[in-house]
Structure 1
Amino acid sequence: MPAPPPREIVLVHSPLVGPSSLAPTAEALERRGFRSYTPCIEGSDVAWRDAPGAVLAALPELSGPLLVGHSAGCLLLPALAGPLEAWGMIFLDGRIPPPRGPTPPAEPEFDAFVKALPVEQGRLPRWSQWWGPGGMATLIPDRWTREAFEADLPRLRPEWFDDVIETPPWDHLRAGYLQTSPRLADQAEAASARGWPVQSLAGTHLDPFLRPGETALAISELITALAAR
C-alpha cells in the first residue's frame, strides 16, 4: 500500500540566510492544506555542527513530517530525519548530502570564495553583500521586498565554514529533488539517476522567496509522486 502523504512540512533554511527566505513558500503550502514550520537557525551564533540541534529545539513535537531543505539546508536533512521520524525529504536547489560521514557546509571552491570576502570585527558581510554592488537588486528589484529578505540575514565568522556535521546513513528514506536555478542542474540530474521524482522550475535560487506559489505547487507534486511509491 502506498504511504499516505504527510500533512506537516518542516522547511529548513540555509544558515547563510534566514527563515524569511522560506516564509512565503510556507504560507503558500498552508493555503494548500499543509501545516508548515520554518524553524529559525540563528546562523551568527550557532555552529554548523549544532545546526540540526537548533532546528529540533525550535520545533514542536512532531512525528512523520516531510522535510524540505533549501540550499545548504539540504545538508542538514539526514541528521533531522531520524529524530523526527521523517516521512521523506525534498532537496530544494541545494547539494545532495553524501551517503554518510563528516560533511562541511560548503565545497572547497565555495569555501575559498567565502574566505576571500572582507572581514569586519571578525565577521563576514551578510549573504546579500557577497555578490557585488547591485547583485541583490538584480535578483530582487523591489526595495521593500529586498529589505524583507535581508532583515534576518546573519553575519557568520569565517571559521564557521571549517566545521562539519556527521551525516548519518539516509539512502533508505524517500527523497525527491526540486531545482529552481540553472547552476544546480547537475544535482537534479543526479537525483533523477537515483530514480527520485524531480521537478525543475526555470527560476532562480531565491524562488522559495520570490515565487512561492510555483515552489509550493512543485513541492506538492513531488509529495504526490513520493506517496505513490
Structure 2
Amino acid sequence: MQPIFVLVHSPSVGPSTWRPVAEHLAAAGYQVLVPSLLHIGAGAPPFWPRIVSAVRDDLRQVPAGSPVTLVAHSNAGLFLPAIRSGLDHPVASSIFVDAALPALIGPTPVAPPELLEFLGPKAVNGRLPRWTDWWDEADVAPMFSDPTMRQTVIEEQAHPAAVLLRAAHPGPRRLG
C-alpha cells in the first residue's frame, strides 16, 4: 500500500507553501494532505498539542490502517515526534525538508537565543508580524518567483504569537 504524504508546513507560514510539491506528488499518482496549522498560535500555550490535533483531524478522512509519510518543513520538524506519536495511522517514514531537527532526548527550543533576540523587537502587543515581514524585501522576493504564489503565501500567513517562539517541543519522544 502506497503511503499518503502528509506535508506539514512551518507554523510561521501557511499550507500554500507546500502547494507546488503537493501538485507534483498528486500528478505522480500519490495521495497528499496538507493540514493547516494557521490556528495553532491562538490561545495559551502549550501550542504543540494543537499541531498534533490539526494533523490528526486532517487524517480523519483517511482509513485508519493507511500508512502515512510525514514531511515537515522548517520548524514543523521539531513537532514530528509529537505528531507521529499522536496519530492513529502507521507512519512509514518521516522526511525533514530544510527542517529543524528535534533533540533525541528532552525538550527542544523552538527558536535559538539569537533568533529570539532578532524577533523580540518586532513583536507588537505580544504578536509577531507575518514571516515575510521579518526580512528585507530583497531577501524574501527571490523565494517566490511566481507573483501569484507569493501573494497567496503573504495573505494566508498567520501572525504567530511571540510566545510560540519561546515554547519548546515537549521531548523526549523519538522518531522511532
Instruction: Give the alignment's TM-score, normalised by structure 2.
Output: 0.83
User: What corresponds to 2:57 in structure 1?
Assistant: 57
Q: Which residues of structure 2 form unaligned runs of 5+? A: none
Q: Which residue of 2 aligns with 1:74?
A: 77
Alignment match of 2:117 (pick from 101, 112, 115): 112
CA contact (8 A) 2:102 2:169 kept: no
Q: Is 1:35 matched up with 2:31? A: yes
Q: Is the 8 A contact 1:104 1:163 kept in 2?
A: yes
CA contact (8 A) 2:81 2:175 kept: no
C-alpha contact (below 8 Å) 2:73/2:99 kept by paired residues: yes
| Residues 8 and 36, structure 1, Cα contact 8 Å, conserved in 2 | yes
Going from structure 1 to structure 2, the CA distance change for 1:28 and 1:168 (only over 3 Å counts) comes to: farther
- Give per-residue Cα distances to partners, 1:54-109, cap 9 Å, x unaligned: 32223224442011001111111111223232111111101221113222322222
The answer as to whether partners of 1:17 and 1:127 remain within 8 angstroms in 2 is yes
TM-score (norm 1): 0.65
Conserved 8 A contact 2:68-2:93: yes
CA contact (8 A) 1:79 1:168 kept: no
Deviation at 1:136, TM superposition (A): 2.0
- What SS is found at the alignment partner of 1:22? helix
Secondary structure, counterpart of 1:91 in structure 2: strand
Amino acid at match of 1:135: D
Q: What is the letter of the counterpart of residue 30 of structure 2? A: F
Q: Tell me the C-alpha RMSD between the 2 structures.
A: 2.1
Give a deviation string over 1:118-167, Cα, whole Å, max 9, x none. Answer: x3343211000111243322332443231022121011121121222323
User: Is 1:161 aligned with 2:160?
Assistant: no
The 3 A distance-change label for structure 1 pair 69 and 115 is same
Of 93, 101, 106 in structure 2, the residue corresponding to residue 101 of structure 1 is 106
Gaps of 5+ in 1: 173-229
Does 1:128 pair with 2:132? Answer: yes
User: What letter is aligned with 1:10?
Assistant: V
Number of residues paired by the alignment? 167
How do 1:6-45 and structure 2 match up within 5 A?
A: 6-41=2-37, 42-45=39-42
Q: What secondary structure, in the 3-state scheme, does the structure 2 residue paired with 1:16 have?
A: coil
* Identical positions, percent: 31
Letter in 1 for 2:11: P
